[in-house]
Amino acid sequence: MKKKIALITGSAKRLGKFTALELAGAGFDIALHYNNSDKEKVEDTANEISKLNADVKIFKADLSKVEEIRSMFYNIQYEYKDLNVLINNAAIFEGKDFFEVDEKFFDKFININLKSCFFCAQSAAKMMKINDSEINHIINMASLGGILNWTGFMNYGITKAGVIKLTKLLSVKLAPKILVNAIAPGTILTGEDENDNFDKDDTIKYPMKKFGETKDISSVIKYLVTENKYITGQIIAVDGGRSVNI
């Protein structure tokens, strides 16, 4: 049986890596994308994926540049001839006070967090619309930052709110052959390269009284791309109840 192909952007490390491993274990071949990650780390991730009997190919691209996005998809089509799943995972997260934001900082977030999702989805959909699969999937990684109002991370929140709206628009535009959903994670601890942009005491704000783990996200993604044939246009908050505990 022909294996399905999944592209996960930003999949050399953190949540993207664990998502790639989850889908490899579910029988997908993996297009592993990276840009700034250390090449040795990229190779290590590829080796972990290949141990799950998945064919993995590595693609480097600066997703803030549309020409590099298009080049990446051209290479994916050349290597795999097909694409069944796109996970728009790559993003940046950084705080800055509203009055200190300049045009360069603003554009950086728009280009990487939002524009890349739009043009990756566009290129992926062109491949998916002509493949043999009855249903294909695009999953955008949104965030609680696109739902809640984090004034210290305004640029991040604006882009993730845009990702949420993009998800809904694409779900209408691309149905019924392509189902489009988004995941809005709360704080997720990956066990590697943790950043300092969260307060460890914030667990009190979570009804579940703890932060999430990578499996909480990757298992939902696995369900959506292996079992789901009807859910589309939904924003699934995987956040231990944080988004409803205002």
Enumerate the active-site residues: 156
Q: Which are the contacts of 144, defined by CB distance < 8 A and separation ≥ 6?
A: 184, 185, 186, 237, 239, 242, 243
Amino acid identity, position 220: V
Q: Which are the contacts of 201, defined by CB distance < 8 A and separation ≥ 6?
A: none
Go through 52-85 and write b for each residue having 16 or more CB atoms within 10 A of its CB, e for each that does not: bebebbbbbbebbebebbeebbeebeeebebbbb
Backbone conformation region of residue 131, classed left if phi is above 0, alpha if psi is from -120 to 50, else beta = beta
Task: Tally the C-alpha atoms within 13 A of residue 128's C-alpha that lie toward its C-beta.
Answer: 25
Q: How far is CA 218 from CA 16, 196, 205, 212, in A?
A: 9, 22, 23, 11
Query: 155: helix, coil or strand?
Result: helix
Question: What is the full DSSP assignment across 51-120?
Answer: TTT--EEEEE--TTSHHHHHHHHHHHHHHHS---EEEE---------GGG--HHHHHHHIIIIIIHHHHH
